[in-house]
A and B are shown apart, each in its own frame.
Chain A
């Protein structure tokens, strides 16, 4: 084992140490590979460890020698396994892509590669991003590093566990309804989702195309910001990216007005989560920020609306998996039989549920009652948000209504599982950027009879900012965590 202190390491510190020759990129990568070898068999954060990681690190070391090293050169990162890395297995944790090797680099990967990032491996997730616990992976659940009997959250649970357990320095996740933020709060790390259109999704396996963004996961806000700054930007290969000419970043103020939608925080929230939330509000006041009560009149409908629009888009996006051009192929009696058997064998239970639900809400007789109504509600919600952002700089909620739940606790009740996303989906529905920040711990499973201490489970709070207001999130997040 090396003597690099991975626990306190940040991207900037690692960069300075490599520049000063305290350790090499190779030594740093080896240090992470050692931790992975020790912890991953239990945690199941990574589905694949890339055999060329040390070779990538050697390339980074060359750049430190010839003076072309950038801030991210030699930084070991984990990549959610639904983001294409050329020639590497990219499965979205689905059996239907079990043996698929990516044919090209996703734009975000190309950008990180250019900066000299070392890709350690592909991380576990709910199949195609469908879930809030990583239990829907075809390759086994990821455990929460703070309590191995609990879930890591999802769908980017592999990435958040990897960051939390020092199995990488930072990671990429994706976020369709909270998939980078909710697992970050369960694992005690920072999870960030940019404004819709700010980061290219080219090469990220699509789930809900009007909702998906690639996000960064890290131990602190600055690291999440550094990764975001490297991956953001307009891309010819993704027509939903915002052209630079249309980027209007709102001003970052020293003292921030924080809006709290009290009407949305009335029921269904764990007592300890609410207590921690109130403490966080007090902390923000002490830091000199202003708290203001706001009203988002349609936010109660956000989750139901999301569970119409998202499955509609899932059913469309997953229609490309038919065993013809890539992935699993099963033989049927005829071409239709091939499709039916391939998809029956390849998709897990949650993917099937969402495909069926999506097919239903898009079918002729129900289109107006569900899909059209949800689309209209979404427009109304966007207007509600725009109006509120005239009064406040950010909106604050808990990230998740509960701390990490037990493995198996919700896996037989889809609606209970869906409720885990209640605070995170509205950022995707409206397209605004959002960040989950660690806000403390709560103790669970202590035994008062024999005085046995319980497990400390992390909690998180979520800030949402106006469209393109990423910098406001970084500012208030750093303030909250006491980062310089």
Chain B
């Protein structure tokens, strides 16, 4: 891994990092990847896949609760709201 890889990953992960932190993480990643790379020795076919016993298990989307029942509780935790909506910065 190189520093520019860490920069790319931090950007994908949406975490702002200082130069110092990127360098530190680069060193740590080298040692962690050194450890997990041992799986490359394993003789296994990557198409090995099996569905579990539990299938088609999603509950029916029925019997909705009364509209607005939880709105106040949920909005209580939202950092910025306006008139019952969550407020974010302009996207377009």
**Residue of chain B at shortest CB distance from A240:** B54
A329 to B89, CA, bound (A): 12
User: Could you tell me how many residues of chain A have their Cβ less than 8 Å away from some Cβ of chain B?
Assistant: 61
Task: Give Cα A413–Cα B28 distance, bound, in whole angstroms.
Answer: 8
- How many A-B contacts are there with CB distance less than 8 Å? 146
Q: Roughly how many angstroms separate A341 CA and B18 CA in the complex, as a whole number?
A: 11
19 further contact pairs, Cβ within 8 A, besides A307-B32, A343-B16, A356-B15:
A103-B77, A104-B73, A236-B59, A239-B58, A243-B57, A307-B36, A324-B79, A325-B86, A329-B80, A335-B88, A353-B29, A355-B13, A356-B25, A356-B29, A357-B32, A368-B46, A376-B44, A380-B44, A415-B34
Contact A324 B74, CB 8 Å, known A355-B13, A357-B32: no
A325's partner among B49, B73, B77 (CB-CB below 8 A) is B77
Chain B contact residues: helix, strand, loop or mixed: loop
Q: Which residues of A contact B29 (CB under 8 A)?
A: 353, 356-357, 360
| A197 to B25 alpha-carbon distance, docked (Å) | 35
Interface of chain A: mostly helix, strand, loop or mixed: helix
Interface residues on B, range: 35 or more
| Also in contact, A376 and B47, with CB within 8 A (given A243-B57, A324-B88) | yes
A298-B80 Cα distance, complex, nearest whole Å: 50
B39 touches A377 (CB 8 A): yes
Q: Mark A234-278, 1 if CB is under 8 A from B, else 0.
A: 001001101100100000000000000000000000000000000
A352 in contact with B39 given A360-B9, A379-B48 (CB within 8 Å): no
Whether the Cβ atoms of A335 and B91 lie closer than 8 Å is yes
Contact B40 A369 (CB under 8 A): yes
Contact among B31, B59, B89 with A415 in the assembled complex (CB-CB below 8 Å): B31
Give the residues in chain B near A69, CB-CB below 8 Å: none
Out of A308, A340, A363, name the residue touching B36 (CB < 8 Å). A308
- 8 nearest interchain CB pairs? A329-B79, A344-B16, A376-B48, A340-B16, A326-B77, A335-B89, A339-B14, A372-B46
Complex CA–CA separation, A336 to B36 (angstroms) = 32
Q: Are A101 and B15 in contact (CB under 8 A)?
A: no
- Inter-chain CA distance A338–B5, complex, in Å, is 22
What are 17 A-B contacts defined by CB distance under 8 Å? A103-B77, A104-B73, A239-B58, A240-B54, A300-B38, A301-B38, A304-B37, A304-B38, A308-B36, A326-B77, A344-B15, A356-B29, A357-B29, A363-B12, A377-B42, A379-B50, A418-B32
* Chain A nearest CB, measured from B19 CB (Å): 13
- Minimal beta-carbon separation of B52 from chain A (angstroms): 9
